[in-house]
Structure 1
Amino acid sequence: MPPRPSRSLPSRALGALLLPLALSGCSLMPPAWIIGQQRTTITDHLHFDNAPIPASRQPVVLPAATEALKLPAAPGGGELGPWLEQQGTVALVVLRDGRILHEQYFAGRQRDTLLTSFSMAKSVVALLLGQAIRDGHIHGLDDPVTRYLPELEAQDPRFVQVRLRDLLAMRSGIAFQEQYGSPWSDVAVFYLTHDLGRAVAGLKIAEPPDQRYRYSSGDTQVLGMAIERATGRRLPQLLAHGLWEPIGAGMEASWSVDSAVLGQAKAFCCLNARAIDFARIGQLMLDRGRVGTRQVVPSDWIDTLLAVQEHPGKDAAARRNIEDPSRPSAVFYTGQWRRMPQGRLEAAPDPASGVDPATLVPGTDFYAQGQHGQYIYVAPQQRTVVVRLGTDRLPGTWWPGLLGRIARSGLDSTEPVVEALSAR
């Protein structure tokens, strides 16, 4: 870490000086690139080492629907397509009943453009955990993480209290700074370091586990490393064999790793694939882990990932794992997926109004989410999957609500459609 500079420098100048120094010290990326960019982008995989994930040996061609989707109006009126592009969208794919209802790309991207998932990768790690439990590599969710990563106990004895279920629900109590604007935060170090094992070795416990929900990329990284240790295989290998092959992924993918030498996958982010293949993950969830006649992921595991459970905690938000509990955008954080509450498919409430977490009732829709507006949104009652990938997620629109509206387009449904919600 560079020496602390004089306090007399303006904070903006300090940030401009310190950020490149901090990031270039822990990154394999060229310093000139870091100085020029200073933020994550969906093309970051071009600057990382990556573990390849081959396309399925028996790729499944997704058939086109017989009728094209009539997109709903944009928030505020007008055509949705141009509005999506203005909002930084690069891909929009809609599947209904396993058929391509809509596929559109923006800003020069095409179907074969490789794009990163950011934190949607967390939701994929959760699927790999279910397969590891099914195959007997992991005994169950109540296993302490130290059963698979015993070195954690040496760095902080309280790690023995952390169960895999605590990591899955992001209730571990591990100290972790999830601050995207700070080069000193843990998530920035995890993202750019060339030795993730060393970064994980520096983690400590902040509070007892299972007391509250606290979003943490560190939880998923530890969980992913536990899966690797239990199975004896790297996450990209597990994904290639356990998911990419059976879902019939049509194109190769990759998972960014800390370095070519160590090859530790960034479990909390950085699965790189095509939008159409991300949609296959959504279809797998929609079909409760089944592809054709094959049960790829146990159906009861899908239920576990989406279940809203009652936890310990001092208030309703803590007990029910609610994210953004005081906002109209409040959702349930389940097993590395997010679940929409009932009522979010009605006209949007006033963004200034509060929400009582105790009154929220789980709905049927759920989604995976990544930074800058990466989404796999699943509407089971409509048999629809919506994938949105983008360079940014500008403030003023609540994207899960908008994607829920797209999922209901063209259907005669008694369920009210969702409206755009200015809540973030």
Structure 2
Amino acid sequence: MKKTIRYMFAALVLAGAFGVYAQDKARRTDVLFWSQAEREAHFRDMPAIFAGNTVVHGTHVHALPQGRPLQPRWPDGQSLEAYMSAHKVAAVMVLQHGRVRIEHYGLRFNATGRWTSFSVAKSFTSTLVGAALADGSIHSLDDPVVRYIPALKGSAYEGVNIRQLLSMTSGVRWNEDYSDPKSDVARMYSAPRVPGEPALVTYMKTLGREAPPGSKWVYKTGETDLIGILVTQATGKTLAQYLGEKIWRPYGMASDAAWLKDETDGTETGGCCISATASDYARMGQFILDGGKIDGKSVLAPGYLADATRKHASTDTPGIGYGYQWWTYDDGRFTGIGIFGQMMHIDPKRGLVIVQLAAWPSAVGPDEIAARRAFVAAVTAGVDAETTPTK
């Protein structure tokens, strides 16, 4: 369990997002050291602090009709308001069968504000891989990574395919120790700039191999950004452009979103930092729950979503695995998770989408993680306690 928390901490914190900018600019690493007041103030406004691209919404809005109010059921009788106050939660939205059953805000946040997802964005990036497969921009998950990122030829990534990159089973050596300033997660943007090449790629091609491709799972934050770069290379579009074109506008998100990027080379951070409203995160979750379809037509390659949300690698926590940039559960649920309390949880059996946006006092404190799991269990218990189906 402790090992999984350490993996999640390093991966979610540095999911390619916290590169260092010029000295006169804010550094995204600074987020780790913000005070509680700064977290609560800036998580809702990170696109105003850091460079990013806009995900443009359209005129059509996917309706989220009101459903019957749902009461989460904690064993100790805790209230939703008490949970949110104790754990610095800015928003909770629960959909069931596409209807809003819970919508509640805290930390002076509201329905029109945007909040940063951190590594929930990984699951968005994975979904764009499915779209690129459907378009034919990516031929196959068995394609070698170097087909799309030629700069990695001759590195340990030669011989690694897209499927292994998605499931973080590349076998490339990686140090996830975030407390070590010499670890890969601390240094992955430290390589000298090569003209025309993302700084991340320059660093990643220096890594060695520790296991055959596909044989060992290690959470490598840099690999999530490689996936984003691969999608951009394959489609010829930024992640923000592609997300807007394939999902954001046609599905009917209500507001623009922002996707942070490296302001020096313009590379978006595929593993982190989409900023959106709580309701648009919920719409994204509903899009996934509906099978990645818009107006009955699949946006994703046949079978991709089912493949992405099943376990491809085991973690050290029983019942929890890893798919294609989704944490998976043996009972069929799956979740996108970000540091400081962000979550987009999908429960196909119950038709549930559970979104949480927060400013936890610590990035991935064990007590906070346990409380979030208890919140999901309380929502599930509330649904299961009902005697009639939701209309």
Tell me how far 1:111 sits from its aligned partner. Answer: 1.0
Q: How does 1:384-423 map to 2 (within 5 A)?
A: 384-392=352-360, 393-396=364-367, 397-398=369-370, 399-412=372-385
SS in 2 for 1:223: helix
Corresponding residue to 2:173 among 165, 175, 183: 175
SS in 1 for 2:157: helix
Corresponding residue to 1:27 among 21, 29, 32: 21
2:65/2:100 contact within 8 Å kept: yes
d(CA) in 2 for partners of 1:72, 1:29: 49
2:339 corresponds to: 371
Q: How does 1:16-415 map to 2 (within 5 A)?
A: 26-28=20-22, 38-39=32-33, 41=39, 42-43=43-44, 44-65=46-67, 67-73=68-74, 76-154=76-154, 156=155, 158-189=156-187, 197-203=198-204, 204-207=207-210, 208-259=212-263, 262-309=265-312, 321-323=313-315, 325=316, 327=317, 330-341=319-330, 363-392=331-360, 393-396=364-367, 397-398=369-370, 399-412=372-385
Deviation track 1:153-176 (CA, whole Å, cap 9, x = no partner) reads 14x2x3221100011101112333
Higher Cα radius of gyration: 1
SS in 2 for 1:92: strand
1:169 and 1:32, CA in 2 relative to 1: closer, same or farther beyond 3 A? Answer: closer
Bigger CA drift: 95-104 or 186-195? 186-195
d(CA) in 2 for partners of 1:379, 1:29: 44
TM-score (norm 2): 0.81
1:194 and 1:131, CA in 2 relative to 1: closer, same or farther beyond 3 A? Answer: farther
SS in 1 for 2:169: coil
1:51/1:263 contact within 8 Å kept: no
d(CA) in 1 for partners of 2:19, 2:228: 25
d(CA) in 1 for partners of 2:380, 2:252: 23
Counterpart residue type for residue 131 of structure 1? A
Tell me how far 1:234 sits from its aligned partner. Answer: 1.1
d(CA) in 1 for partners of 2:289, 2:20: 39
SS in 1 for 2:62: coil
1:366/1:378 contact within 8 Å kept: yes
SS in 1 for 2:332: strand
1:108 and 1:229, CA in 2 relative to 1: closer, same or farther beyond 3 A? Answer: same
d(CA) in 2 for partners of 1:194, 1:104: 46
- Higher RCO structure, 1 or 2 (CA under 8 Å, sep 6+): 2
d(CA) in 2 for partners of 1:45, 1:131: 26
2:14 corresponds to: none
SS in 2 for 1:93: strand
Counterpart residue type for residue 71 of structure 2? K
SS in 2 for 1:262: coil
2:188/2:203 contact within 8 Å kept: no
Bigger CA drift: 121-130 or 181-190? 181-190
Bigger CA drift: 198-207 or 404-413? 404-413
Counterpart residue type for residue 322 of structure 1? S
- Structure 2: any 5+ residue segments left out of the alignment? 1-17
Tell me how far 1:182 sits from its aligned partner. Answer: 4.8
SS in 2 for 1:364: coil
SS in 2 for 1:405: helix
2:21/2:27 contact within 8 Å kept: no
Counterpart residue type for residue 61 of structure 2? P
Deviation track 1:290-347 (CA, whole Å, cap 9, x = no partner) reads 23423222451111102334xxxxxxxxxxx122x2x45x501011111112xxxxxx
Tell me how far 1:46 sits from its aligned partner. Answer: 3.4
TM-score (norm 1): 0.75
Counterpart residue type for residue 333 of structure 1? Y
d(CA) in 1 for partners of 2:265, 2:113: 27
2:72/2:378 contact within 8 Å kept: no
d(CA) in 1 for partners of 2:239, 2:19: 26
Tell me how far 1:410 sits from its aligned partner. Answer: 3.5
What is the aligned residue count?
351
Tell me how far 1:394 sits from its aligned partner. Answer: 4.0
SS in 2 for 1:382: coil
Tell me how far 1:84 sits from its aligned partner. Answer: 2.1
d(CA) in 1 for partners of 2:123, 2:341: 15
1:45/1:270 contact within 8 Å kept: no
- Structure 1: any 5+ residue segments left out of the alignment? 1-23, 310-320, 342-362, 415-424
Deviation track 1:229-278 (CA, whole Å, cap 9, x = no partner) reads 1111111111110111122100110100100x532101111111111111
1:51/1:255 contact within 8 Å kept: yes
Deviation track 1:340-395 (CA, whole Å, cap 9, x = no partner) reads 12xxxxxxxxxxxxxxxxxxxxx121111111221111111111110011111543
d(CA) in 1 for partners of 2:232, 2:113: 29
1:87/1:394 contact within 8 Å kept: no
**CA-based RMSD:** 2.8
1:302 and 1:53, CA in 2 relative to 1: closer, same or farther beyond 3 A? Answer: same
Counterpart residue type for residue 49 of structure 2? H
SS in 2 for 1:372: helix
SS in 1 for 2:173: coil
SS in 1 for 2:90: strand
1:383 and 1:250, CA in 2 relative to 1: closer, same or farther beyond 3 A? Answer: same
SS in 2 for 1:240: helix
Tell me how far 1:69 sits from its aligned partner. Answer: 1.1
SS in 2 for 1:367: strand
